Structure 1
Amino acid sequence: MKIDWADRVATMEDPAVKMMLKITQRTDVISFAGGLPSAKTFPVDRLAAAYAAVLKEQGGAALQYSLAEGYPPLRELLAQRLERSGIACKPENIVITSGSQQAIDFIGRLLLNPGDLIAVENPAYLAALQPFRSYQASFLPVPMDNDGMDVDALARQLKKARPKFIYVNPTFQNPTGITLSLERRRRLGELAASREILLLEDNPYGELRFGGADIPPIKSLADSDWAMYTGTFSKVIAPGLRVGWFVAHPEIAAKVTAAKQLNDILTNSLTQRALHRFLTDTDLDAHIATIIGQYRRQRDAMLAALAAYFPGNVSWTQPEGGMFIWVTLPPGLDARDLLTKAIDEAKVAFVPGTPFHTDGGGHNTFRLSFANTGEEEIASGIARLGALLARHM
């Protein structure tokens, strides 16, 4: 077929994402590729009870159309929970979205014209770069170190260019696992507000902390209408629910609501009500603590295996939470070439680092996820990968 697709269609498919999804379906490969939460953590029975109770008690109302901005009791509950983290908000600041991914897409849709600039971490979350590319945006890549985005470097870049907004994934970042320091969070919030540049803080992993002190969200520190925030229940309850949230000044929230009305009318009404019931009947903090316990053991198993089996000239991050470890090979090596060998020879998979970089770099880096793999498999897979590195380096 010869179809005259819109220009943006060419940016919608990413080979790295297709590869990740394909690998997760293979049973003969130990996969550290996909950023999947562990299904062992999903509260299946309690969710089933919540759905049953809502259907029995609310009947047709639970299955009817509802408000595009979301189920009011769920937004009220979220406002209370966000207040605990220092984010001052009311229900009118909150829009329930189909995962935080939808909020990211809506911000791109509402703000970007072809050629507009976005400041992003380098490397950055791949599934945020994809929708931004679909709106034909350009990127201002900001370097990172072990304290996260280099905010001083961003300040220097802003003297020469003005992005439409800044996108940052500051806590246990995907792909690196790095966390933006408290000092840099304050500086970034102040910088965005003083320059009157919108800042989108994406925080899907923030509650999965295994060690170290909690660091407040940028939005809680910025106290600014220029700071926006998005989160999700995907990592702390289950991704299949597809329920996230967006928090911003009411004027921005209203625009996101209008975009949602045009896109899908509303996030699944039954699921919102069942999720509200689940959260009312469940100690979510205790549930998250069980996830943290499991993921901490898996992270520790991977860090121990990396230290035991990887060559001495390979380095990696030491995340205090989240789901990811970032590996750096010696210069001159290409993780994309290594991946082919890893799958064919060692039956192990990871994600090469290049797609996460908007400047074409990262050839000698790759991402490992420990969240969806048991401790024994982690040890075995990293041992195989270490042996492969020793043979080919």
Structure 2
Amino acid sequence: MAITFARRMEGLKGSEIRELLKLTEKPEIISFAGGLPAPELFPVEEMKKISTLVLEESGTAALQYTTTEGFPPLREHIADRMNSKNKTNIDKDSILITNGSQQGLDFSGKVFLDEDDVVLCESPSYLGAINAFKAYQPKFVEVPTDNQGMIMEELENIIKTTDRIKMIYVIPDFQNPTGRTWPLERRNKFMEIINKYEIPVIEDNPYGELRFEGENLPSLKSMDKKGLVVFLGSFSKIFCPGYRIGWVCAPEEILSKYIFVKQGADLQASTISQREISKFMDIYDLDEHVDKIKAVYTRRRDLMLKTMKEELPEGLEYTYPEGGLFTWVELPSHLNSKVIMEECIASNVAYVPGGSFFPNGGKENNFRLNYSTMPDEKIVEGIKRLGVVLRKHMEVEAESL
């Protein structure tokens, strides 16, 4: 008999980034494609000690099931950290531990979206979120975005003229893929609009602590007076992604739905991973660890942007991120970054073509570069290789015009 899949499977495809990472596993390729943290900064020696300590102190509990909500001391650490870093006023009962913030994205779709409901998002937006939401068969409306993030006048016009808006997905801090950050004025205006129309917001914040310069800005969650903002956080970029520990912070009415969904999905996140991260935060200074990460990433960002200025051809634009992991390059409109990528791979350098970051497609003249993973000498060499390929394509196109 023929196998029949659910209709939702028709619109799904593998993540372009994950497929690219398979290509770039070859040691000769200098990859700016992934959003990977620098592995040399993982606290391996400290975690050897922590792992032993957790097993010695509470081995049977660490290897047992725990509550769906998560290990209470870790949730307390997260609440304290959010109150300090994100200007919120919450306690552990507002926190659900997830398997990475990606699970929080999937749960957001499951909690809020029916088929043909509308999701508003920045343009471009995070590919992993787009793919997570697509499983629930919504329609995406891209809100025009400039170098300071989502344009609020455009947002309100869309809300006024669009039916069935179920949620808005945003990354206000060091956005993936562009690296852009919303200024305070935009955040205030956004929350004014949200409170007026009472639309749920998914605030994705995996990079917020990785600020290299400038002033820390309050999270949207800290401005939430009506219980409309769901905050997604993660230890992946500030600690170790291999633990797969993230969290959802939301008011009780909404969080209870996420808890119910998680019970049906996987019961709970890893007990031992939660206890090990919590024990690390008991013994060591996570802020000190994050400062080490920021110092390395600041240097690599500066080096990448300096080399781009020297080696890339004129006629393209790129963002200057104040933190996070990415810069975003815009080519002349007639160039296709996916086509150019094939030649880059042949030259042993890789980026992520930008088209997939636009949920409705149609914009192929952009690409994303990551500066966190490659060491300094490979950043320089990789940008030089990229410059050679881009210069060739831009010269050929210029001759044909």
TM-score range, shorter chain: over 0.9
Task: Please tell me the residue identity of whatever aligns with 1:314.
Answer: L
Q: How far did residue 13 of structure 1 move?
A: 2.3
- Across the two proteins, how many residue pairs are aligned to each other? 392
Tell whether the 8 Å contact from 1:186 to 1:222 is kept in structure 2 after alignment: no
Aligned residue in 1 for 2:390: 389
Question: Hey, which bits of structure 1, 4+ residues long, moved more than 3 A?
Answer: none
1:134 aligns with 2:153: no
> Residue 366 in 1 paired to residue 328 in 2?
no
Does residue 1:150 correspond to 2:112, yes or no?
A: no
What is the percentage of aligned positions where both structures have the same residue? 42
Cα-to-partner distance string for 1:206-226 (whole Å, 9 max, x where unaligned): 000111111111111233301
1:12 aligns with 2:12: yes
Does the aligned pair in 2 maintain the 1:23–1:33 contact within 8 Å? no
Assess, with a 3 A threshold, how the Cα gap between structure 1 residues 321 and 80 changes in structure 2: closer, same or farther.
same
**Residue 74 (structure 2) pairs with residue 74 (structure 1):** yes
8 Å Cα contact 1:50-1:278 kept in structure 2: yes
Distance 1:99 1:181 in 2: 27
Q: Deviations over 1:75-109 (max 9, x none)?
A: 11111111112111111111011111111110100
Say if 1:189 and 1:219, in contact at 8 Å, map to a contact too. no
Q: Which position in structure 1 is the counterpart of 2:331?
A: 329
Residues 38-91 of structure 1 deviation map (CA, whole Å, 9 limit, x = unaligned): 101111111221121111111211111110010111111111111112111111
- What displacement does 1:129 show? 0.3
Residue 170 of structure 1 deviates from its aligned partner by 1.0
**Counterpart Cα distance in 2 of 1:203 and 1:2:** 43
Paired residue for 2:399?
none
CA-CA distance at 1:205 after TM superposition? 0.3
Distance 2:233 2:186 in 1: 20
**Residue equivalent to 2:51:** 51
**How much does 1:36 deviate?**
0.7
Deviation digits for residues 92-132 of structure 1 (CA, Å, limit 9, x no counterpart): 11101111111111010011111110000010000000011
CA offsets 1:299-338 (integer angstroms, 9 cap, x no match): 0110011100111111100001100010001111110110
Which residue is equivalent to 2:29? 29
The residue type equivalent to 1:150 in the other structure is I
Q: Do structure 1's residue 278 and structure 2's residue 292 form an aligned pair?
A: no
CA distance in 2, matches of 1:329, 1:2: 46
Matching of residue 42 in structure 1 with residue 34 in structure 2: no
Describe how 1:172-183 pairs up with structure 2 within 5 A: 172-183=174-185
Task: Give the residue type in structure 2 aligned to 1:390.
Answer: R
Instruction: Determine whether 1:193 maps to 2:195.
Output: yes
Deviations 1:249-271 (A, max 9, x none): 11111111111111111000011
CA distance, structure 1, for counterparts of residue 236 and residue 256 of structure 2: 24
2 CA distance for matches of 1:11 and 1:239?
28
* Structure 2 CA distance for aligned equivalents of residues 309 and 97 of structure 1: 42
Give the Å deviation of 1:379.
0.6
Q: Is the 8 A contact 1:92 1:253 kept in 2?
A: no
In 2, Cα distance between the equivalents of 1:215 and 1:359? 30
Distance 2:266 2:122 in 1: 30
Gaps of 5+ in 2: 395-401
CA shift for structure 1 position 15? 5.5
Tell me, what secondary structure is at the counterpart of 2:329?
strand
Q: Please name the residue that 1:237 is paired with.
A: 239
Aligned to 2:397: none
- 1:146-197, Cα deviation, whole Å (9 max, x unpaired): 1011121100100111410000011100000000111111111221121110
Asked if the contact 1:93/1:248 (under 8 Å) is kept, the reply is yes
Q: 1:352 aligned to 2:338?
A: no
* Cross-structure match for 1:161: 162
Q: Which residue of 2 aligns with 1:3?
A: 3
Partner secondary structure for residue 208 of structure 1 = coil
Contact 1:335 1:363 in 2 (8 A): yes
- Distance in 2 (CA, whole Å) between partners of 1:361 and 1:178 is 21
Kindly indicate whether the alpha-carbon contact (under 8 Å) linking 1:24 and 1:34 is maintained by their aligned counterparts in 2. Answer: no
TM-superposed CA distance for 1:385, in Å, is 0.7
User: Which structure 2 residues correspond to residues 117-128 of structure 1 after superposition, within 5 A?
Assistant: 117-128=118-129
Between stretches 357-366 and 279-288, larger displacement belongs to: 357-366
Q: Which amino acid aligns with 1:71?
A: F
C-alpha distance in structure 1 between counterparts of 2:250 and 2:168, whole Å: 14
Shift of 1:2: 4.8
Query: Could you tell me whether the CA contact under 8 Å between 2:127 and 2:357 is conserved in 1?
Result: yes
Distance 2:248 2:337 in 1: 35
Distance 2:71 2:369 in 1: 36
Shift of 1:386: 0.6
TM-score (norm 1): 0.97
Q: Which amino acid aligns with 1:41?
A: L
Distance, in Å, in 2 between the alignment partners of 1:249 and 1:292 is: 31
Q: Give the aligned residue type for 1:200.
A: I
How many Å separate the matches in 2 of 1:10 and 1:322? 34
CA distance 1:308–1:294, shift in 2 (3 Å): same
Q: For residue 98 of structure 1, what is the aligned residue in structure 2?
A: 99
| 3-state SS in 2 of match to 1:265 | coil
The answer to whether the 8 A contact 2:152-2:186 is kept is: yes
Q: Which amino acid aligns with 1:284?
A: L
Rounded to whole Å, the distance in 2 between the matches of 1:385 and 1:359 is 27
Q: Matched residues in 1 for 2:315 and 2:158: separation?
A: 32
Q: 1:15 to 1:255 in 2, by over 3 A?
A: closer
- Tell me the secondary structure at the aligned position of residue 367 of structure 1: strand
1:79/1:90 contact within 8 Å kept: yes
Alignment check: 8 A CA contact 2:349 2:382 kept: yes
- 2: distance between equivalents of 1:93 and 1:137? 27
